[in-house]
Amino acid sequence: PGDITFLSETASCERIIKLLGYQPQWPNQFRDGVILEYCGEGDLFKYFERRWTNHIMVTEDTMWRVFTQLMEALAYLHQGHGSGRNKDEWKPIVHRDIKPENIMLVSSDNTPGSVLNLKLADFGVSAFYDPNNCSFVNKGTPTYQPPEQVNGKATPAGDVWAVGAIIHFMGHGVRPHVNTVDFAREWRKANPGVTPLGSDRKSYWEQRATRLAIPLNQDKKEWQPTYSD
């Protein structure tokens, strides 16, 4: 399985979840058993959810911690930084599905005296990166993907975009694209009578919605993005 291949390659990275054991065809012939290190604080999305539910804002310090730790993981995946191998010997890995739900927390700042300590997980759709052949059938989560990945091209830059999308989500509470409902409405208005295959699914419009990032240091009252922007 893909998870096993890539977790075996990344065993020495402290920012990637550790593979502790693997048993094929367990508990039955149709499934494999995988044992991963324990991350007692759940995933990053649950962390956000708990804070928002309790009306606790995500601080700039937390954003920097998430950004720094995720970039450490990407430096390892993309360039082998920290692997003990030369860059020329390292075969780059693209994760292709970086999102808060795939980032596990060993510890968090919800506990007094503790700090956010995260691990990148879920390598089920990951792949070795070949710049001469980086096309694939798109999987993953469109709302955290750049346009080229939605169109079937996965590169290390796409993983970096996903990290930026997470920081955007932390700062604004929305992903970096226009409202998909508004986008679909405007598209249908501009293309009357046209019903693309699959357009009844939310993911169809999430894949195609215009990407739009709001600067984190800008007062939202100063500029409200619209479809025409």
* Average of per-residue pLDDT across 65-93: 92
Domain positions in the chain are 39-176
What pLDDT, in 10s, does the model give residues 43-68? 999 999 888 888 888 888 899 999 99
Q: Report cis status (omega within 30 of 0) of the bond before 27.
A: yes
Q: What is the distance between the alpha carbons of residues 103 and 73, in angstroms, rounded to a whole number?
A: 11
What pLDDT, in 10s, does the model give residues 11-39? 999 999 999 988 887 778 888 888 899 99
Q: Annotated catalytic sites, by residue?
A: 97
Token duo for residue 199: 């357009």
| 220 or 2, higher pLDDT | 2
Q: Please say if the pLDDT value at position 106 is more than 80.
A: yes
Domain 39-176, what fold? Transferase(Phosphotransferase); domain 1 (1.10.510)
Q: What is the distance between the alpha carbons of residues 31 and 17, in angstroms, rounded to a whole number?
A: 21
* Average of per-residue pLDDT across 86-99: 90
Residue spans of alpha helices (H) in 113-217: 147-150, 156-172, 180-190, 202-208
* Average of per-residue pLDDT across 124-134: 86
Percent of the chain past pLDDT 70, that is, above it, reads 91
Q: Please say if the pLDDT value at position 96 is more than 50.
A: yes
Q: What is the distance between the alpha carbons of residues 69 and 19, in angstroms, rounded to a whole number?
A: 19
Range name among 20-24, 71-75, 133-137, 199-203 with the lowest pLDDT average: 133-137
pLDDT at 14: 94
